[in-house]
Structure 1
Amino acid sequence: MSTTTQLQQPELELCYFSNSNNTSRMQISDFSSSCAISTMELNHSSNRHSVSDEETQTPPRSPTPTSIAPSAPGAFSTTAIPDGGYGWAVVIAGFTVTFCFNGLINCWGVLQTALLNSTLSHVPTATLAFIGSLNICCGAAFGIFATKLGQRFGSRITAMSGITTMGLGLIAAGSCTSNVAGLFGTIGVVAGVGMNMAYTITNQLPVQYFSGKLGLANGLIKLGGGVGGTVMAIALEALVQHVGIAWTFRVQGLLTIGMELPAAWFMKDRIAPVRKAPFVDLSMFKSVPFTAMFAAGAIGTFALFVAPYYLPLFAQTLGLSSSTGAGLVAAFNACNAVGRFAGGPLCDKIGPINTFVITMVLNAVSMLAIWPVSSTLGPLLVFAVLNGVANGAFFTVFPTVVASIFGPGRAAVAMSMSITGWTLGYLLGAPVAGYILQAMGGQEKAGAGNIDVYRPAIFYAGGVALVSSCFALWARLNLAKKVAKRV
């Protein structure tokens, strides 16, 4: 039996359907009648060209899924991926969007220290760490719903709505600087949910435009977050010194709306949103590599924000000024930017899962071997550099890993499920470190230059990073046991 190729409209659409023999078929439609094509077999009695069943099995030019078949026929489809074109406008827009919201995520340690030194000096450090953690936790927990909004309303509207929500949350936080509950609501919930709506789109949209250059595209988008964190660490400290913590929040909110809304306008879907795509696809967990990477991401997030949240406090314990602490966070974020960018091309070169294993091992080693002995500025700066690179690479590499496992058609659902799996790590990771620090006596017991009280919290963070790297290695070995193989 043969599949018929007809001449109509000029865009190639590749749709996968499963039949009783589990054979993938490619239906080619919508070509203009004026378009000339090469034929495999000429039927002299008509204007149709027939293609054999064997030939219809040639895959499209996109990342080949390494996992299980789609759970519903026709639920996922994608046109031929251009690997560029308008996608570069999407990359620039994504760079701008991540610039602003990473200025909040990666710089919460600066804002937290400012609150502790002014309006909330009576509040435990771990409580304020919970505000920052709740922000990214709400973002992660909202991942699946944000994906559904993108499928229902499109990427542009979803991103613009999220940016507006985040900006308003930051502006409202300016009136709650003496109210812990108010900060939990404005920064933790409102800004967190809005941030994730935009973050989800920056993770999902590149796979519509890029295939061979997907790692580079993700790297450039995530680079914006590293650059934003670097700039904002210095800018927020300067704002706190000149206008106070309340107006610092307000200015950050206005900047978010002013910069990100115009950028989000360019975040346009290349293909129509698949409104009937599943909300959650539990069949994905039949793929051992995905299950292992899901666990690696969920566990690894417990360690990601311990360093940027506690570097300013650690610096104060060493007798360094708050400006020096902010400078360390800026250095961390600058190297975070390097990791975000370098992680993309490295994925394209040695494979995304190989890159992720290296990322988490570097994260663990920097926290277990360098931070605990950083009793002076020099070693502490080395730690900030190495951990910043590893931390930044995580956010570039993970979306590329998911796309390599399932392909572009299913990457959106898989990524939203993965981000939702980060919820506990985002919520509890940094606060658990804070409670461990508090149980050891906190800053009061630390004294000038005494970093012993920090070591249990540091070992906790390094330990979970090490466990995460083990799960990533499991996924790697499940796909290929040969060390030199690109995976």
Structure 2
Amino acid sequence: MAEPRGPSSSSVASSTATVHILRAPGSTKSLLVGELEKGAAEANVEDVDEYPDGGLRAWLVVLGVSSGICTTFGFINAWGIFQAYYEQYTLRNMSPSDMWVPLSNAASLDYALVFMPGLAFGRLFDMGYLRLPVGIASALLVACTFLTGECTEFWHFLLCQGFGVGLASGVVFSAAAGVVAHWFKKNLGLALACMASGSSIGGTIFPIILRNLIETQSFQWTLRITGFIVAAFLLVLNMTIARRLPANPHPGPFIHLGMFKSITYMVYCLSLFLSFLGLYTCLTYLSLSGLLAGVDADLSFYLLSIANACSLVGRLGGGVLADRFGAMNVMIPGTFVAGVMTYAWPFAKTKGPLVAVAVLYGISSGIFIAIMVQPLVRMGKVTEVGMRTGMAFTILSFGALAGPPISGAIFDRTGKFENVGYYAGSAVMSSVVLMIIARQLLLGKLFGHA
């Protein structure tokens, strides 16, 4: 049974198409490939190396997943606004020592759960499941956004904004990372960059929306209005997301430890883990550090939007450069600059330096986030991309889970962001070293496309 080689006229005509039509040779009977593509699972794929690499249907998928990333990763990137608000208003009765570590734990839970479901959902994606889990996750995300507005105690926020939003975002992100690789190969870097741009857009608009709504509306109505905005973006995601390739007929176990026989894969996964131990520290505490340094409150709140807006430049530029020069060749210097900015951030005490850090950190971290998936996609068969990226995401999620609490504990003990910067910057720089090693193992030479 042959796989479809590109978008059919019927799928192009309708952006809401949920199935592809496959026909067996010599048969007029069609098989509908939907949530569990049983017919396609038994099919012999003729040539998975033939990708559309463009066209209306492929770019509609990118539009959809970008909308999903906007309301998941982008929304989570607005955590700094929530943290500053909780400390000033909702949880102001808590002492700093009682507040710092719990809030850091909530932030880390959000970041970690974006990646942690990758282990389970990556394998489900390979098996053919896509629309149903994405639909359930979308409903959960909208519900938790509304419920956050009704929270009054820390454990309420942890349950709704930590577990609920984080888990739903993880399912959407895992689906997005896998499905784009079905439609693009030559232009995969650009497609992933466009997908990741949704995070920059969300991380830019949500802090602005939240900041302005909080000033004019109650916290409850702020989250209700935000919930409707989230629902609109997720509607686009659910209307356009679609698989191209048939399900893997022999998906195997959820965890395939044999993949770690590849030293390159193992080293690269470890580099991702270390990067997330420190990468989001600056983004999480940038607004708060500005407030504590005495910078105007309005500017401090908007530092997060500035960083995320500049991240869009890094993501799109990094994706284009990755297709031309190789993902790791672009990601290594970009991550290095992010590490330098993480070291420098605590020493920015006035308006100019803080804006400069936000701009440079946004661009450099955007390069890393946009194309970190690309090396994983190309380390094996595309039919196993869900498992391969899912295992890597789960590993790096432990870095995202531990990073902010460690940063919060360091600040709680020392009272200085400088010490937090030393820790987070060193973690990012260690990641860069391992990326260089992984690149050398992959190429076996100093120069080349990697």
TM range (shorter): 0.7 to 0.9
The Cα RMSD (Å) is: 2.4
1:178-232 CA-to-partner distances (Å, cap 9, x unmatched) read: 2111111111111111111111111000111111000000000101110111111
1:484 corresponds to which residue? 447
| Aligned positions, number | 413
2:60 corresponds to which residue? 89
Q: Cα–Cα, structure 1 residues 76 and 389, in superposed 2: closer, same or farther, change >3 Å?
A: farther
Contact persistence 1:332–1:385 (CA under 8 A): yes
Give, in angstroms, the shift of residue 459 of structure 1: 0.7
Correspondent of 1:101 among 50, 72, 82: 72
Code of the aligned partner of 1:258:
A
**Which stretch shifts more, 282-291 or 401-410?**
401-410
Normalising by the residue count of structure 2, what TM-score does the alignment of the two structures yield?
A: 0.86
SS of residue paired to 1:433: helix
Following the alignment from structure 1 to structure 2, what is the Cα–Cα distance between the partners of residues 260 and 11? 27
Q: Cα–Cα, structure 1 residues 282 and 10, in superposed 2: closer, same or farther, change >3 Å?
A: closer
Correspondent of 2:273 among 273, 298, 314: 298
1:398 corresponds to which residue? 372
Task: Say whether 1:469 aligns with 2:432.
Answer: yes
Higher relative contact order (CA 8 A, sep 6+): 2
1:279-318 CA-to-partner distances (Å, cap 9, x unmatched) read: 2221111112111110010110111221121111111122
SS of residue paired to 1:405: coil
Q: Cα–Cα, structure 1 residues 88 and 435, in superposed 2: closer, same or farther, change >3 Å?
A: same
SS of residue paired to 2:92: coil
Q: Which has the higher helix share?
A: 2
1:353 corresponds to which residue? 328
Contact persistence 1:293–1:475 (CA under 8 A): yes
Q: Cα–Cα, structure 1 residues 152 and 179, in superposed 2: closer, same or farther, change >3 Å?
A: farther
Following the alignment from structure 1 to structure 2, what is the Cα–Cα distance between the partners of residues 212 and 79? 10
Following the alignment from structure 1 to structure 2, what is the Cα–Cα distance between the partners of residues 408 and 10? 14
Unaligned runs of 5+ in 2: 7-22, 28-43
- Paired residues for 1:97-136 under 5 Å: 97-123=68-94, 124-136=99-111
SS of residue paired to 2:48: strand
Contact persistence 2:4–2:245 (CA under 8 A): no
1:106-125 CA-to-partner distances (Å, cap 9, x unmatched) read: 11001110111111013312
- Paired residues for 1:302-451 under 5 Å: 302-368=277-343, 370-441=344-415
Give, in angstroms, the shift of residue 331 of structure 1: 0.7
Give, in angstroms, the shift of residue 395 of structure 1: 2.0
Contact persistence 2:317–2:367 (CA under 8 A): yes
Q: Cα–Cα, structure 1 residues 126 and 275, in superposed 2: closer, same or farther, change >3 Å?
A: farther
Code of the aligned partner of 1:463:
S
SS of residue paired to 1:138: helix
Correspondent of 2:50 among 75, 80, 83: 80
Correspondent of 1:212 among 164, 186, 206: 186
Code of the aligned partner of 2:419:
P
Following the alignment from structure 1 to structure 2, what is the Cα–Cα distance between the partners of residues 250 and 92? 25
1:372-407 CA-to-partner distances (Å, cap 9, x unmatched) read: 431222122111111111222222211111112224
Give, in angstroms, the shift of residue 320 of structure 1: 1.6
1:64 corresponds to which residue? none
Following the alignment from structure 1 to structure 2, what is the Cα–Cα distance between the partners of residues 348 and 117? 45
Contact persistence 1:223–1:340 (CA under 8 A): yes
Following the alignment from structure 2 to structure 1, what is the Cα–Cα distance between the partners of residues 102 and 47? 46
Correspondent of 2:116 among 141, 147, 159: 141
Following the alignment from structure 1 to structure 2, what is the Cα–Cα distance between the partners of residues 164 and 11? 31
Give, in angstroms, the shift of residue 92 of structure 1: 0.8
Code of the aligned partner of 2:69:
T
Normalising by the residue count of structure 1, what TM-score does the alignment of the two structures yield?
A: 0.80
Code of the aligned partner of 1:87:
A
Contact persistence 1:83–1:212 (CA under 8 A): yes
- Paired residues for 1:276-291 under 5 Å: 276-278=250-252, 279-291=254-266
What's the % identity of the aligned pairs? 24
Following the alignment from structure 2 to structure 1, what is the Cα–Cα distance between the partners of residues 314 and 123? 30
Contact persistence 1:76–1:277 (CA under 8 A): no
Unaligned runs of 5+ in 1: 1-7, 14-28, 34-73, 442-452
